[in-house]
Amino acid sequence: MRKVILAVLALLFAGSQADLLSQSATPPKEATDVTKAEIEAVLNHGGTRGGDRQIKVVDLGKYNVGVGVLYRGATKEKPGAPVTGIAHTQVTEVYYIISGSGTLVTGGTIVGAKPLSPDSEVVKVAVGPSLNGTFQGGQRRKVSAGDVVIIPPGVLHGWTEIEDHVTYLSVRPDADHVLPAGYVHPAVKK
């Protein structure tokens, strides 16, 4: 019986070491491209623009990096209406505005926080565990093509005052490996 227990413990230890090694492996020796054509293919996948679509996730050893593309259409809220947003518990986002403009609200306090379903595509593929809710306070900034905004984990962020649209690239450093390493969007899989 003791030999069986020791064998099971050895297997568990070996498995945990394999997980550890896969998360701290040597970074790839090649660069990963995300081309303009791939961005457009993912953005227009399914015949509609919209939402948050992860393009690729690369395992860089100590951390993953995801690249996604997002499109938001015109907002229709009344002036002074509450703004809703999302906060990712573990993943940073760096937004690069490709086209359009709007007001990006960040920070403040999240009211009525609700966790997103762990089975949702947004959690499983795009940004990891997240909460959504309504802003109380926060910083408002008008952003347009060419602007960059860095949003740390846990910072509520959301959009308002989008007259036509805003399209933006999101680079997602993932120190906790919550994003699926090796993911490639079906629209660009070869």
Query: What are the angstrom distances between the C-alpha of 102 and each of 19, 51, 170?
Result: 42, 15, 16
Of 77-81, 107-111, 120-124, 166-170, minimum mean pLDDT range? 77-81
Mean of all residue pLDDT scores within the chain: 87
The answer as to whether 117 is a domain residue is yes
pLDDT at 106 over 80: yes
171-182: b or e for each residue (b if 16 or more CB lie within 10 Å)?
bbbbeebbbbbe
What are the strands, taking DSSP E only, across the chain?
51-59, 64-73, 84-88, 93-106, 109-115, 130-136, 139-144, 148-151, 157-160, 165-174
- Structural domain tally of the chain? 1
pLDDT for res 10: 37
The residue segments making up the domain with residue 47 are 27-174
Phi and psi for 184 in degrees, rounded to 5?
-135, 130
> Considering the domain boundaries, does residue 56 fall inside one?
yes
Residue 7: pLDDT band by 50, 70, 90 thresholds? very low
**Residue 183 resides in a domain:** no
Asked if the structure places residue 124 within a domain, the reply is yes
Cα–Cα distance, 135 to 27 (Å, whole number): 38
* Domain membership flag for residue 5: no
CB 113 within 8 A of CB 90: no
- Please calculate the CA angle 84-175-134 and round it to the nearest 5 degrees: 10
Residue 19 pLDDT class (50, 70, 90 cuts): very low
Query: Which of 130, 131, 128 shows the shortest CA–CA distance to 63?
Result: 128
Note the pLDDT of residue 23: 52
The predicted model gives 67-73 an average pLDDT of 96
Q: What does the pLDDT average to over 112-141?
A: 95
pLDDT digits (tens, 9 = 90+) for 23-36: 556 788 899 999 99
Distance (Å, rounded) from C-alpha 36 to C-alpha 80? 37
- Is the per-residue pLDDT at 1 higher than 60? no
Residue 99 belongs to domain with CATH number: 2.60.120.10
Token pair of 163 as six digits: 């007259």
